[in-house]
Chains A and B, each alone.
Chain A
Amino acid sequence: MATLSELTVTEELTALREIAADRGWTFTVIDPLRFLLGFTSSDGSMFYLLVACDSYPVQPPAWHWCNADGTRTDQASDRPKGSGFLHQNGVVCAPWNRLAYKSVDARGPHGDWAIGDWQRNSHTSGCTTLPHMALRIYVELNSSRYHRGRLG
């Protein structure tokens, strides 16, 4: 029987699949709780994320920067150079990314956020679904906060 996480992910991926097809993003479902997404940034380079959604939506998903086929995660050469949201620690800095929590990942910039409150965190600001999170990352990769290049 499908879990709550699997049902939620399946439902939300419908909208994400539609956007990805229209915008030329790469999109691959790996299993019911993981998918791979690739975006073009403002300088034309591609960035990829492996998204793990176990315990979602009780906990936020984990957005790992990775290589094109998702076999290598969290390497500096796969992470965009940026500021703020595109944090220099190499994680997406937002309450809706599990890796932003110091309690989960040592690189997480926030020891002050409670992971169980991620949907109520003021910085989440309505960004509570997978397509919304993906859109936000795409927007950031095409904004001035992306410093054109990679961390390594």
Chain B
Amino acid sequence: MENPDKLEQIETQLEDALVGLKAAKAVEAEAEHEVEEALHELHDLKAHEILLKIATPKGLFAGIFRESATVAAVIETVVEKKDLSRKDTFELVHGETVLQPVSRTLESFGLKRKADLELVAQGSGV
């Protein structure tokens, strides 16, 4: 006969493992859903188009642009659609890169197909 304490310990470990497995499956399912969603979005893109997801001071903006669109044109569109103040000068940021000058195109910054960007007011850091 096994030691009851040891059995109890093993049962607890098993329960913990099952909880961990369940959590991992949930994370996996969520990740799969996100990938599926992204693939679906990408599937809808035509050649030389890019899906931009932009975090703005008024929430998220998602839109499809030509990869040859200028940064200025993208900013103009987002400012209009999100009803942002035209008194402010905004800049788009991708990771460590500020997309300047705004006369350059998205593709000139290496952006292709899909990108997450941030829109912030220029000079709002000291």
Chain A residues packing against B (C-beta within 8 Å): 14-15, 18-19, 22-23, 42, 84-85, 93-96, 100, 122-127, 129, 131-132, 135-136, 138-140, 142-145
Contact = CB atoms under 8 A, between A and B. Distances in A.
Contacts of B118: 135, 138-139
B60 A22 contact: yes
B89 to A, nearest CB: 8
B120 interface: yes
Given A139-B93, A143-B96, A132 B60 contact: no
Contacts of A140: 125
Given A135-B56, A135-B118, 14 more contacts: A19-B59, A19-B60, A22-B60, A23-B55, A85-B125, A100-B126, A124-B124, A126-B85, A126-B124, A127-B124, A129-B57, A136-B120, A139-B125, A140-B125
A114 to B, nearest CB: 15
B43 interface: no
Contacts of A18: 59-60
A93 B126 contact: yes
B116 interface: yes
Interface of B: 53, 55-60, 85, 87-90, 93, 95-96, 98, 116, 118-126
A135 B95 contact: no
A96 to B, nearest CB: 8
Contact of A14 (B59, B98, B123): B59
Given A139-B93, A144-B96, A123 B124 contact: yes
Nearest to B84: A126
A125 B60 contact: no
